[in-house]
C-alpha cells in the first residue's frame, strides 16, 4: 500500500509538501507539459512519492524533470544521468566542462558531480548556475577534501556539515548511503562476496565504521540529514552501498538486506516531507534483472528506482557502455525509472568527453527502447517520423531526428554517395529509392555493375 503522511512542518517547503497540500507547483506543471500528462496526475503521484521532481529551491536555471510513474501505473519517460567530476589523478577542470557541454548537447536529464579531489565547491556552484539539467552529488566523496581531515578523524557532525554545504549550493539530489547499517554489515561479513564492496561511498563509510566501531553516521543521524534536505527541497537518492560489483554477487544476502533497510528509510523520508529515489544494481545476469526491479518496487513502496546499468557481463572492459545499455533497457522496461550511464572507460580510467558521448548515447538508446516497450505515451512518435523520413530518403530530417545528429551526419558525409538520394551502402540499389520510383510510376534501370 502506498505510504502517505503529512510532513511535520507548518508551511509547505518541498514538492511533496505542496503536493500533499493540494497545490500544483510550477515544477509539477512543467513536468506535466514535458510529459504530455495531466498536472493533477503529476501532483497526486508526487504526494504519494511515486514521482520525484528533484528541484532545489536555489537551482534557478533548472528545467524540472519528473522521475517515476503516475498512480495509474503509467510511467514517465525514463531519465538518464551523466557522471563527471574532478579526479585527483586527472584534475583538469577544462576537461570536465567539455564533458558538461557534451551532456547538455545530447540532452542528459541529470549530471552528477562526483568530484573527489581538492576544493570542489567552485566547480559545483558554477555547474549548478549553468545547468538546466538536475544536479546530483555524493557528499561523502567531498568530505575529505572539504574538511581537510583524515577519514577516521571525521565526526558525524562533520558529515552533516558537508551535506548542508551541498544543499546550500543548490544541488537537486544527493546520494546518501544510509542503508548500510550494522545489521547489513553483519550479513555481508557472514555470507561473503566475490567482489566485496564496490561502491566508492559505501567503501568509505565501511572503512569509517570499522575504524571507529560506530554505526553508519548517515543511518544514526538520518533525521538530521532529512531536516537539512527538507530545508532546501533536496531529493534523497538512497545509495546502494551493497550493490553487486560482479554477476556472482547479484541478489545476494547483503544486497537484499540493504534493500530492506532502504524501504524503511524511504518511509521515514516521506514522513519528513523529503522526496526519495532509491538506487540499485550494479552487475547482474540478464535473467535476474526484471525480478530485481519488482523486488525494489515492492520493498521500497513504489519509490522511483535509479539504476547503474546493470552490467550483464563482467568480461567486456572497454565496451561496458554496451553491457550496461543491454541491462538498462531490460531494467527500465521492467520498471526502473532512471538510468545512470556507463562509459567505455568504466573500470579502466576517468572518462574523457568522447567516452561521455558514447556512454550517454548508449544509455539514451536503452532508455528510449524501454519507453517504447513499457508504453510511455508518445515514445514511438519520433521513431515513426524517422521511418517516414527514411522512406522518403530525406537525409536532413533523418539527421534532425537522430539521438546524436552530429554523429549521424558525420558518418554519412564521410563517404559521399555518387548517386543523389542514396548512401554508399546500396547506391543505385537502394531499396527505398527503387520502390519509391516504382510507386511513382517511373522506370527503374540499374547499370550492370549494380547487380
Residue 283 annotated as binding site: yes
Residue with cell 525480478: 291
Residue 124 annotated as binding site: no
Cβ pair 177, 201 in contact under 8 A: yes
68: left (phi over 0), alpha (psi -120 to 50) or beta: left
Residue 347 annotated as binding site: yes
Could you count the other beta carbons within 10 Å of the beta carbon of residue 249? 25
Cβ pair 279, 176 in contact under 8 A: no
Q: Measure the CA angle with vertex 155, ends 153 and 161; round to 5°.
A: 120
Residue 230 annotated as binding site: no
Q: Measure the CA angle with vertex 357, ends 277 and 57; round to 5°.
A: 35
Residue 241 annotated as binding site: yes
SS3 state at 21: coil
Residue 430 annotated as binding site: yes
Of the chain, the end-to-end C-alpha distance in Å amounts to 65
Closest CA to 218 of 187, 262, 252: 262
Residue 441 annotated as binding site: no
Where does 275-424 show beta strands of DSSP type E? 276-280, 305-308, 338-340
Burial state string for 289-306 with b = 16 or more CB within 10 A and e = fewer than 16: beebbebbbebbbbbbbb
Residue 242 annotated as binding site: yes
Residues in contact with 62: Cβ distance below 8 Å, sequence separation at least 6, in sequence order: 55, 56, 131, 132, 133, 134, 172
Residue 240 main-chain phi, psi, to 5 deg: -100, 80
Residue 243 annotated as binding site: yes
- Rounded to a whole number of angstroms, the CA Rg of the chain reads 23
Where does 40-122 show beta strands of DSSP type E? 51-52, 67-68, 79-84, 110-113
CA 130, CA 5: separation in Å to the nearest integer? Answer: 35
Output DSSP code: residue 75: B
Residue 83 annotated as binding site: yes
Q: Tell me the three cell numbers of residue 264.
A: 524503511
Residue 177 annotated as binding site: yes
Residue 48 annotated as binding site: no
SS3 state at 82: strand
Q: Binding site for substrate: which residues? A: 83, 112, 141, 177, 199-201, 240-243, 279, 306
Q: Where is the binding site, in residues?
A: 83, 112, 141, 177, 199-201, 240-243, 279, 283, 306, 347, 423, 426, 430
Q: Would you list which residues are annotated within the binding site for [4Fe-4S] cluster?
A: 423, 426, 430
Annotated binding site for Zn(2+): 283, 347
Amino acid at each position: 500500500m502506498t505510504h502517505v503522511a503529512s510532513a511535520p512542518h507548518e508551511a509547505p517547503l518541498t514538492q511533496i509538501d505542496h503536493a500533499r497540500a493540494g497545490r500544483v507547483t510550477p515544477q509539477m506543471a512543467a513536468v506535466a507539459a514535458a510529459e504530455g500528462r495531466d498536472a493533477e496526475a503529476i501532483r497526486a503521484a508526487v504526494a504519494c512519492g511515486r514521482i520525484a521532481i528533484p528541484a532545489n529551491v536555489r537551482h534557478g536555471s533548472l528545467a524540472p524533470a519528473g522521475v517515476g510513474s503516475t498512480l495509474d501505473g503509467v510511467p514517465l519517460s525514463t531519465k538518464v544521468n551523466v557522471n563527471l567530476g574532478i579526479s585527483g589523478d586527472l584534475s583538469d577542470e577544462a576537461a570536465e566542462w567539455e564533458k558538461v557541454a557534451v551532456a547538455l548537447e545530447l540532452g542528459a536529464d541529470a549530471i552528477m558531480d562526483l568530484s573527489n579531489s581538492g576544493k570542489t565547491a567552485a566547480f559545483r556552484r558554477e555547474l549548478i548556475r549553468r545547468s538546466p539539467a538536475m544536479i546530483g552529488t555524493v557528499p561523502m566523496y567531498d568530505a575529505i577534501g572539504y574538511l581537510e581531515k583524515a577519514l577516521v578523524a571525521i565526526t558525524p557532525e562533520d558529515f552533516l556539515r558537508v551535506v548542508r554545504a551541498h544543499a546550500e549550493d543548490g544541488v537537486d539530489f544527493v546520494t546518501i548511503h544510509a542503508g548500510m547499517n550494522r545489521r547489513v554489515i553483519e550479513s555481508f561479513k557472514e555470507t561473503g562476496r566475490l567482489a566485496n564492496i564496490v561502491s566508492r561511498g559505501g567503501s568509505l563509510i565501511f572503512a569509517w565504521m570499522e575504524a571507529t566501531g560506530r554505526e553508519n553516521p548517515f543511518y544514526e543521524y538520518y533525521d538530521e540529514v532529512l531536516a537539512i534536505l527538507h530545508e532546501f527541497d533536496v531529493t534523497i537518492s538512497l545509495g546502494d552501498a551493497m550493490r553487486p560489483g560482479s554477476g556472482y554477487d547479484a541478489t545476494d544476502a547483503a544486497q537484499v538486506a540493504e534493500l530492506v533497510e532502504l524501504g524503511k528509510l524511504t518511509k521515514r523520508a516521506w514522513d519528513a516531507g523529503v522526496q526519495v529515489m532509491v538506487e540499485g544494481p550494479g552487475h547482474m545476469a540478464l535473467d535476474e534483472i526484471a525480478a530485481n526491479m519488482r523486488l525494489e518496487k515492492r520493498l521500497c513502496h513504489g519509490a522511483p528506482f535509479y539504476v547503474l546499468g546493470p552490467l550483464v557481463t563482467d568480461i567486456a572492459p572497454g565496451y561496458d557502455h554496451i553491457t550496461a545499455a543491454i541491462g538498462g533497457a531490460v531494467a527500465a522496461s521492467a520498471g526502473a525509472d532512471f538510468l545512470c550511464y556507463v562509459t567505455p572507460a568504466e573500470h579502466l580510467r576517468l572518462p574523457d568527453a568522447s567516452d561521455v558521448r558514447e556512454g550517454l548515447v548508449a544509455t539514451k538508446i536503452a532508455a528510449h527502447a524501454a519507453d517504447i516497450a513499457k508504453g510511455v505515451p508518445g515514445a514511438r512518435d519520433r521513431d515513426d517520423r524517422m521511418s517516414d523520413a527514411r522512406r522518403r530518403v530525406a537525409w536532413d530530417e533523418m539527421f534532425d531526428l537522430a539521438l546524436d545528429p552530429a554523429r549521424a551526419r558525420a558518418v554519412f558525409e564521410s563517404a559521399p554517395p555518387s548517386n543523389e538520394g542514396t548512401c554508399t551502402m546500396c547506391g543505385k540499389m537502394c531499396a527505398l529509392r527503387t520502390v519509391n520510383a516504382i510507386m511513382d510510376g517511373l522506370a527503374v534501370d540499374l547499370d550492370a555493375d549494380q547487380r
